Amino acid sequence: MRICKGELKPGNQGHDSTLKAVTSIAECLIGDHIAAILFTKRVCVGCLPTEKALAQKCVSVDIQCPWCHSGLESDTHVLFLCDFAQTVWVSTGLHHLIQASSHDTAFAALNNAFTSSTRDQCVLIGMLCWSIWNRRNKWVWDKANGSIFGVRAAATNLLHDWQEAQVCGLNSNSQGTVSARRWQKPPDGWVIVNIDAAIFQNGSIGFGMCDTNSQGQFQRARCRRIDGAWQPREAEALSLKEALSWVKDLQLSHCMFQSDSKVLVNACNGKAGEAYFGTIVLDCVQLLKHINHVLVEFIYRSANSVAHLLAQAAYSMSDLGSGMLIHLILLLMYLILILFS
C-alpha cells in the first residue's frame, strides 16, 4: 500500500515504471470492485506478507508452500504457480493468459496477463487473485482449506454483487427493494437456472427447474419425483444436485443457479454443515467444479414461482424416475412465458 499512500518518492529504483503500470491496472479495474483495485496495487508493489517475504525480514518461518510443498511461498507462487492456483486458472479458462515463472515477480505476471486481456478478463483476473490470496489467509489463520469452487465462487459472487449494487445505486432505495423480489434476466452470455423442491404428504419429494437465457427467453424445464422421508433443507439440496447433473449433461456454462433456500445457498458458498444435508451439499460442490463460470445465489420465493410450480407438478408424475410429463410442461408453458415476460 506504500505506493497508494505516496510513500515511494521519485528517484526510487523502478518507481516511475511501477507507478505507470499500477495506474494503468487501476484504471482498468475502477468501476467494478474496489477490493480488486487495492489488492492489485499491493501485488504490483510486492508487499504481500508471504512466507518468503517474512523470511527476508528475518522472521523465522517455514518458507515452503503449505499446499503443494514444491516451491517457496512467494507472491508469484501463491497466485500463479502453485498446483492449486494453476487448477483455478485452468477451471476458469484464463490459464492461457497467465504466463509466469519462478523468476518473475507477481507484478510482471499481472502486467503480461493484463496486456493480452480484455477489460472483463482483467477484472476477473484481479478478483481471482484476491480470492486465491483470501483462501491462503484462511488456511494460515483458521486452517480452513477452501476448494477450487469456493475460490471461484467467492470471486464471481463478490464481483456480481458489486455490479448489481452499482445498478441498484442508480435507482431509488424503494425501487431496488421491489426489483430484488422479482425475476430478472441474467447478464449477457449467462443462463439462469431456477430450482425448487416440494415435500408431499406421502413422503415423496418433487424437484422443479427451468433455464432462461440472457434475452429472458424460456429454454427448458424439468421436474422429477422421488420417494423417501426428507427434511426440507435436504430436499432443497437434492433439487440443486439434480439441476447440476442436468446442466452438466447439457454441457452448459456461465450458469446462475437461483434458489429460495438461503440455508442451501449459504452452505454452497461456505461451510456445508453437518449430517446428511452437508453430504449432499458436498456432492453439489463437486458437481459445481465441472461447470465453467457458475454462481449459486438466493432469490425470494416471489421471483422463483415457476420452479416452485414445476416442483409441485412433479407429484402428478406417473414415473418415479427421471421422466418428464410432456403435457404438464406444455400446460405450464403459457404461465412461464407470462412470468418471464
Kindly report, residue by residue over 158-217, the tens digit of the pLDDT.
776 666 665 555 454 444 444 456 788 888 888 999 999 988 877 788 888 989 888 888
Q: Among all chains, which residue has been given the C-alpha cell 487448477?
A: 87
Whether 39 is covered by a domain: the verdict is yes
Pair 118, 227 in one domain? no
Query: What does the alpha-carbon distance between residue 97 and residue 81 come to, in Å, rounded to a whole number?
Result: 13
The answer on 63 and 207 residing in a single domain is no
Q: Is residue 8 part of a domain?
A: no
DSSP state of 199: E
User: What does the pLDDT read at residue 11?
Assistant: 38
Q: What is the pLDDT of residue 80?
A: 92
Q: What angle do CA 256, 334, 188 make, to 5 degrees?
A: 30
Q: Which domain holds residue 251?
A: 188-340
In whole angstroms, what is the distance from residue 80 CA to residue 63 CA? 17
Q: What distance in Å separates the CA atoms of residue 119 and residue 203, rounded to the nearest whole number?
A: 51
The answer on 83 and 32 residing in a single domain is yes
Strand partners, 222: 209
Q: Are residues 244 and 147 in the same domain?
A: no
pLDDT of 79: 92
Indicate whether 194 and 305 sit together in one domain. Answer: yes
Question: For the chain, which ranges sit under pLDDT 50?
Answer: 1-15, 30-32, 170, 172-179, 319-327, 330-331, 334
- Strands 191-199 and 294-298, by their bridges, are unpaired
Tell me the pairing of strands 205-212 and 191-199: antiparallel
How much is the CA Rg of the chain, to the nearest whole Å?
23
In a domain, 150, yes or no: yes
27 and 84 together in one domain: yes
Is 158 found in the same domain as 102? yes
Instruction: Determine contact, residues 202/194, Cβ cutoff 8 Å.
Output: no
Place of cell 429454454: 219
Q: Are residues 158 and 237 in the same domain?
A: no
Domain count, the chain: 2
The pLDDT of residue 333:
54
Judge if 119 and 215 occupy the same domain.
no
| 6 belongs to a structural domain | no
Residues 260 and 331 grouped into a single domain: yes
Q: Are residues 276 and 208 in the same domain?
A: yes
Q: Are 109 and 202 within one domain?
A: no
Geometric angle at alpha carbon 179, from 178 and 183, rounded to 5°:
125
